[in-house]
Structure 1
Amino acid sequence: MSSTATAKKLGKRFIGYPEEIVPVVTVKDWATQYAVDPKQRVVDYLVSLFPLFQWLPRYNLGWLTGDVIAGLTVGMVVVPQGMSYAQLATLPPEYGLYSSFVGVLIYCFFATSKDVSIGPVAVMSLTVAQVIKHVEHAHPKEWTGPTIATTLALITGFIVLGIGLLRIGWLVEFIPAPAVSGFMTGSAISIAAGQVPGLMGITGFEYVELLVKANHTRAATYKVIINTLKGLPRTKLDAAWGLPGLVALYGIRILCDYLGKRYPRRTRLFFFISVLRNAFVILVLTIAAWLYTRHRKNSAGKYPIKILQTVPAGLKHIGQPSVDSKLIAALGPELPVATIILLLEHIAISKSFGRLNGYKINPNQELIAIGVTNTVGSCFGAYPATGSFSRSALKSKSGVRTPAAGIVTAIVVIVALYGLTPAFFWIPTAGLSAVIIHAVADLVASPSQVYSFWRVSPLEFVIWAAAVLVTIFSSIENGIYTSIASSLVLLLIRLAHPRGSFLGKVTIRKGAAYSKETRDVFVPLSKNSVNPHVKISPLSPGVIAYRFEESYLYPNCSLVNDALVDYVREHTRRGKDMRNVKPSDRPWNDPGPGRSSGEEEALANEKLPRIHAIVLDFSQVSHIDTTAVQALIDTRREVEKWADHPVEFHFATILSPWIRRALTAGGFGLGTSSSPPDLAAVVPYRDGRSDITEQELEVSNDIESGDIKTINSSSEANSEFEPIIAEDTPFFHIDLLSAVRAAESGVGRFDAST
């Protein structure tokens, strides 16, 4: 009885019987999977823009307690950090508070992350400083630094908002973690090196302006370090505030970490003491600066150390941002790097905290959140803000429950803006430099993290090192471009040069050593992936198995073609005897052996097996394209030309019906095999019963082996058998084992027929 008749007799419809050829997938099927009610799609899209409607109706007192504690804690940190980062951006300190206020307030309405804290960050602040210098150099005295910074926030905010609204945030996924880590490490070193002169009161070189490709930029980091060492003899009194402040920041953190481990029950108390170290150190340094400098103002109106002096109270710069087309054109060359930093740092931080705390963020919605934050922030005089790693970690450890904690932080910032600005007058800038150095040091990758890059992928370690070195020896812009470009190049190399392996067979014993139950597994013949003492047996003579380790696409199909054809020519017999072929009749690229070696070559060729079948393991192939199918056709043509007879191509574990469709379009899988039909049967549970009778099991085994027996009426009534692979495509197999067995079983028939 044929498999078609059996399938019909068992009462199940099977695709391909009797007139269709599997796989039956059409363009309509492809379109149907994306067909969604347009109205429903619009509704879902609009609802997704405001994630707060999902958690706000369920808000409760327990959540409020955690949010208040976390919001107050972050507020204590963001105030001194905001002013410090504004100094780093070469802006008045109040602009850092503006960015902090708008960032934490607006973000909570659009956020999908409860942990991320938006505001001024070190890397973005340094980038803003470089953008300001670039524009001021090209257009001297035409725009002020704050005007340039707020316009930059507006333009980059619109760009990021557009990326989020168009749902193309997946582009960020092309930048791997080592590239981000390398860029952040190099930037942190650059920022810390640039703040050491301010910490020590050394002036005259820390912002050396060099004409580099028409850009007025800060000197490279290595030059800043060299000049800092040269300028140590010019250290001023500011170091008396900067160095003790930096030592105190580290001392408090180390002491609290030690005491937290020493007294586990009071870990939370020591955690909050450690959290308040920034505010405490700035407070002490400010009091000391006030006591020392209040009566030491010289005739020129200068104090013996650098202090912030007047910080305007309140939101003094609310209004429409400047939209000058000339200014936008001047910002054009700097927009790519500013935009990349804005979205890259934020997405990396939000995803990491989502994984850490067990929730999933929406990258596109996060881009919308920071896009709206910066666009609205430009109306408040804010400069570009994004996610802060240190403050986000602090917020997470403080027990934040929802994004509403940002509202509490905004209240703290606005209270500081309206009520504490007179005290800000006496804050020493050296103390702010200490805060910056202490904050950015956490961005430097730890040795264990760097070593893990090397262990996992040495090439990605090279990307990390390249990003760090370029950032230090060139600039932050070049560092981020290097990390992105090298990551994309590595991705293309991996796609264009896939790993593949020819397989051998290993018989393993299941269970105890004395067990008689065995099974065959297929591993690379190179032995790189198994115990070198394990014997790997080749497949039957004339059968070759090859495993792909990437999708089969146009960048890599020619390499796979070369690998298969070269292996066949090296390990199998040439079908046509070339000894009697005239040299003039030979192809130009196949001159053949010399007269003396012709006989030797013929004898060596006779010892090789004749190629019968090639088994291709598609278990890791998720896509195939037209070029790859054509390359596979060319491979078959070259192999059959070498063998001088038809060669079977068996395919195992095809993942997608579209791959089957593509292969059948290329003429693969169809025809008549010299091997028995590769049929399988499934015996599912019936009527809630899990037992299978011996008769049913026997029928199942017979169907799988291709020997279909007649079943009685009672079995026919209770049994449901459904073939997995149709007889129309006998060269497609459900797994590698069945593919190899089918190929090997046809070797004897092939030898007998030839």
Structure 2
Amino acid sequence: MPTSRQVGHGLAKALGIKLDESETERVTRGESVFSIQTADSFIEEQPTVKEVLAELVPTRRGVLNYILSLFPFLSWIGFYNAQWFIGDLVAGITIGAVVVPQGMAYAKLAELPVEFGLYSSFVGVIIYWFFATSKDITIGPVAVLSTVTGTVVNNVVTAHPEYADVPWVIASALAVICGAIVLFIGLIRFGWIVELIPVVSLAAFMTGSAINIAAGQVPGLLGITGFSTRDATYLVIINTLKGLPRTNLNAAIGLTALFLLYLIRSLCNWAAKKYPSRQKLFFFLNTLRSVFVILLYTLVSWLVNMHRRSSPAFTILGKVPRGFTHAAVPTINTNIISSFASEIPATVIVLLIEHIAISKSFGRVNNYRINPSQEMVAIGVTNVIGPFLGGYPATGSFSRTAIKSKAGVKTPFAGVITGVIVLLAIYALTAVFFYIPNAGLAAVIIHAVGDLITSPNTVYTFWRVSPLEPIIFFIGVIVTIFTTIEIGIYTTIAISFAIFLVRNLKAKGAFLGRVQVHSVIGDHITGNESQPANEYGTFKSDSSQTALTRNVFLPIDHQDGSNPGVELSNPYPGIFIYRFSELLNYPSVSHTMEYLVEYIFAHTRPTVLNAYKRPELEPTDAQSHHPRLQLR
């Protein structure tokens, strides 16, 4: 025996560890041994620690495959052709026209100057295509994440007034930290972690966030000031109602712009159904409705305010700097990180769930699969690099992704086309941005987030799946309205996880009974009834005959909805068949075993019939009902 093995056995003996006795009589590899003991048996070698560790070390091929998986574009760029380019060109220009007004509007939600929305839009679409596994996703500013970022910026500025003049420093630091976390999760290929967040929690989060955002934009839509739109949603609604007498000319711009957005969408949808041959034309007109409305009211604003730039008739955007004037190395220090450390989990969750949910959804619709881990790499790289050009936290956008998909995008390269459009806006259109009405941007935001509200039909689907699902949904929405988006996220996830634990802890399966059923075609039983069935309820194999009956196993208590009038028999005397409703694991094993023992004791009798109780001991109530447990 080798010295190392002797030492190991000595330590085991000293510590009281009982080794497997079969280890003392080992058959070494490559050794030919034939005896009465080993002739008819196979002795498997015990794995060594060295072998286990060696399996964890990646091979050269594995390392190469991992590196190649970080750049998915290498798998399709060699097949790029003119047809793909035309599809990407149309989709890229369409998204570029949409992302410019949306990016500026969402930057205001983040409490940042509007140009930061353009910076984030540019970086997102330019970087994403290198790492993308989804051709439809568009990374950039989104309403919910911008709102979360705005909350972080407000909280930090309140605690540290020295950042009041440079709020983008906070947003950039938040993007780098959260992006690094998401990037790390993606690099270690832990993309499956998003599966822990249930769909109902995501729906509640999106609905509550949409209501929160819309309520916060109504004051700007109507020109009402004098209170914070960052308060809880119910307070914002109350203060808005109180401030209705203070509405001004901004309300005329905002309300008509919002009405026009919905009118154009309704007319285009109606026309697409009325004239199917021109459906593509009406789709593009519908897609560009935000651009049309912003340009229209920018023209109106210019006509009204061109001679009164210093005192405009209604609130306008004002001067937007040309180019990447805020490009710089992000400022990250312990002072800034500690000020928003508590908001990092919520920001990371929003970064992940919205993007992964959207990419998976459109992957299923368009018949391809995405890699969640690689998508996390794409999000992480975008948010780590973006702040160097002035970007703030960005992720996948639902509305822009839907538009991109319907526009006929072929590959992620469409993002480069979109980036060129945004770059053109940053350098050539800043003079036009001066006259954009703020109320018009508020209308664009309200119109965009309206699509995030979960429909009643979806809530009804939750109800049909499980009556607890809509309860979780409404709790999440209500908590978001009366507190904050972050608390709403934590609440829904915590409730869903608690229900998951309870279901596993108290999982109760079903005991099955047997019943023979006939195969029927119309009103006739198939098979030859004159042929007797065998012990399994079927005929013997014969080409001219088919099965007359077969065994079906159903829950004895009929809790699965089967016909309670069907009489079930035990599979065999003394045999019980139990079907688990959940996985058998350590949280549920105790409850399951108790249920199994209780049921079996209640439906069996002791094998020793002449057993008597001890006269000095009285059985408990539980024992009196279970003969096998009675004291003897």
- Length-normalised TM-score, structure 2: 0.86
Query: How far does residue 333 in structure 1 lie from its aligned partner after superposition?
Result: 1.4
Determine the C-alpha separation between the residues in 1 that align with 2:509 and 2:55. Answer: 33
Contact 1:574 1:642 in 2 (8 A): no
Shift of 1:163: 0.9
Give the deviation of 1:533 after TM superposition: 3.5
Q: CA deviation at 1:591?
A: 8.5
Secondary structure of the residue aligned to 2:525 is coil
Distance 1:306 1:503, change over 3 A: same
Aligned counterpart, 2:441: 432
Q: Is the 8 A contact 2:614 2:631 kept in 1?
A: no
Inter-CA distance 17–55: structure 2 relative to 1 (3 Å threshold) = farther
Q: 1:56-75 to 2 correspondence within 5 Å?
A: 56-75=77-96
Give the conservation status (yes or no) of the 8 Å contact 1:321–1:379: yes
Structure-1 residue corresponding to 2:212? 190
| Aligned amino acid, residue 151 of structure 1 | A
Contact kept? 1:569, 1:642, Cα under 8 Å:
no
Instruction: Determine the structure 2 residue equivalent to 1:409.
Output: 418
Partner residue of 2:508 out of 499, 502, 513: 499
TM-aligned CA deviation for residue 449 of structure 1? 1.0
> Which residue of structure 1 aligns with residue 525 of structure 2?
514
- The 2-side partners of 1:25 and 1:66 are apart by 59
Q: After TM superposition, list the pairs within 5 Å mapping 1:236-635 onto structure 2.
A: 236-296=248-308, 301-512=310-521, 513-515=524-526, 516=529, 517-529=548-560, 530-575=562-607, 580-585=612-617, 589=620
Give SS of 1:292's match.
helix
Q: Partners of 1:28 and 1:452 in 2: how far apart? A: 52
CA contact (8 A) 1:576 1:642 kept: no
Measured after TM superposition, the shift of residue 550 of structure 1 is 2.2
Does structure 2 retain, via aligned residues, the 8 Å contact 1:164–1:368?
yes
Higher relative contact order, structure no. (Cα contacts within 8 Å, ≥ 6 residues apart): 2
Distance in structure 1 (CA, Å) of the matches to 2:129 and 2:410: 12
Which whole-Å CA distance do the structure 1 matches of 2:512 and 2:216 have between them? 56
Per the TM alignment, residue 542 of structure 1 is displaced from its structure 2 partner at its CA by: 3.1
Matched residue, 2:197: 175
2:224 to 187, 198, 202: 202
| Contact 2:613/2:631 (8 A) holds in 1 | no
Report what 2:242 is aligned to.
230
The equivalent residue for 1:632 is none
Q: Report the CA distance between 1:28 and its aligned residue.
A: 8.1
| Contact 1:583-1:591 at 8 Å conserved across structures | no
How far apart are residue 574 of structure 1 and its match?
3.5
* CA–CA separation in structure 2 for the residues paired with 1:397 and 1:149: 32
| Deviation, structure 1 residue 343 | 1.4
Q: Residues 33, 114 of structure 1: CA spacing in aligned structure 2 closer, same or farther, 3 A cutoff?
A: farther
Aligned mates of 1:27, 1:461 — CA distance in 2: 50
Residue 72 of structure 1 deviates from its aligned partner by: 0.3
After superposition, give the CA deviation of every residue in 1:663-715 in whole Å (9 maximum; x if it has no partner): xxxxxxxxxxxxxxxxxxxxxxxxxxxxxxxxxxxxxxxxxxxxxxxxxxxxx
Do 1:574 and 1:643's aligned partners in 2 also have CA atoms closer than 8 Å? no
Displacement, 1:304?
2.3
Give, in angstroms, the shift of residue 102 of structure 1.
Answer: 0.4
Q: What is the identity, as a one-letter code, of the residue corresponding to 1:476?
A: I
Structure 1 position 483, deviation (Å): 1.8
Alpha-carbon offset, residue 486 of structure 1: 1.7
Instruction: Give 1:114's match in structure 2, choosing from 111, 115, 135.
Output: 135
- Paired residue type of 1:264: P
Measure how far apart 1:455 and its partner are.
0.7
Change (3 A) 1:583 1:469: farther
- Quote the offset at 1:446 in angstroms: 1.0
Q: Deviations over 1:411-459 (max 9, x none)?
A: 0000011111001000000000000000000011111111111111222
Query: Equivalent residue of 1:466, what SS?
Result: helix
Q: What is the aligned length? A: 571
Q: Indicate conservation of the 8 Å contact 2:623/2:630, yes or no.
A: no
The AA in structure 1 aligned to 2:203 is S
One-letter identity of the residue aligned with 1:559: H
The CA deviation at 1:642 is 7.0
Alignment check: 8 A CA contact 1:117 1:391 kept:
yes
Q: How far apart, in 1, do the equivalents of 2:361 and 2:108 lie? A: 29
Q: Residue 212 of structure 1 corresponds to which residue in structure 2? A: none
Distance 1:167 1:643 in 2: 57
Q: Is the 8 A contact 2:93 2:418 kept in 1?
A: yes
1:540, distance to aligned residue in structure 2 (A)? 4.0
- Counterparts of 1:87-106 in structure 2 under 5 Å? 87-106=108-127
Moved more, 488-497 or 560-569: 488-497
Distance 1:333 1:578, change over 3 A: farther
Partner of 1:720: none
1:244 to partner: Cα distance = 0.6
- Aligned counterparts of 1:188 and 1:426: Cα–Cα separation in 2: 27
* Structure 2: tracts of 5 or more residues without a match: 1-36, 530-547
Q: Which secondary structure state, in structure 2, belongs to the residue aligned with residue 505 of structure 1?
A: strand
Deviation track 1:195-218 (CA, whole Å, cap 9, x = no partner) reads 0111010111243xxxxxxxxxx2
Going from structure 1 to structure 2, the CA distance change for 1:643 and 1:583 (only over 3 Å counts) comes to closer
Structure of greater Rg: 1
Q: Residue type matched to 1:514 in 2? A: I
Instruction: Answer yes or no: is the 8 Å Cα contact 2:613–2:630 preserved in 1.
Output: no
CA distance in 2, matches of 1:414, 1:591: 78
More off after superposition, 158-167 vs 57-66: 158-167
- Structure 1: which amino acid aligns with 2:585? L
| In structure 1, C-alpha distance between the alignment counterparts of 2:422 and 2:622, rounded to whole Å | 83
Partners of 2:435 and 2:85 lie apart in 1 by 35
Shift of 1:544: 2.3
Residue 415 of structure 1: SS of its match in structure 2? helix
- Cα 1:199/1:504, change in 2 over 3 Å: same
What's the secondary structure of 1:584's corresponding residue? Answer: coil
Residue 239 and residue 72 in structure 1: after superposition, are their counterparts in 2 closer, same or farther (change >3 A)?
same
Q: Is the 8 A contact 2:182 2:380 kept in 1?
A: yes
Tell me how far apart the structure 1 counterparts of residues 370 and 622 of structure 2 sit (CA, whole Å). 63
Shift of 1:511: 3.7
Pair 36,136 (structure 1): closer, same or farther in 2 beyond 3 Å: closer
* Structure 2 counterpart of 1:150, one-letter code: S
Structure 2: which amino acid aligns with 1:122? A
1:167-190 CA deviation, whole Å, 9 max, x = no partner? 122111100111111101100010
Question: Hey, what does 2:145 align to over in structure 1?
Answer: 124
Paired amino acid for 1:50: F
Amino acid at match of 1:519: R
Take 2:416 and 2:616, find their aligned partners in 1: how far apart are those partners? 87
Q: 3-state SS of the aligned residue for 1:252?
A: helix
Against the structure 1 CA distance between its residues 255 and 17, is the aligned structure 2 distance closer, same or farther, given a 3 Å change threshold? farther
Cα deviation for residue 21 of structure 1 reads 8.6
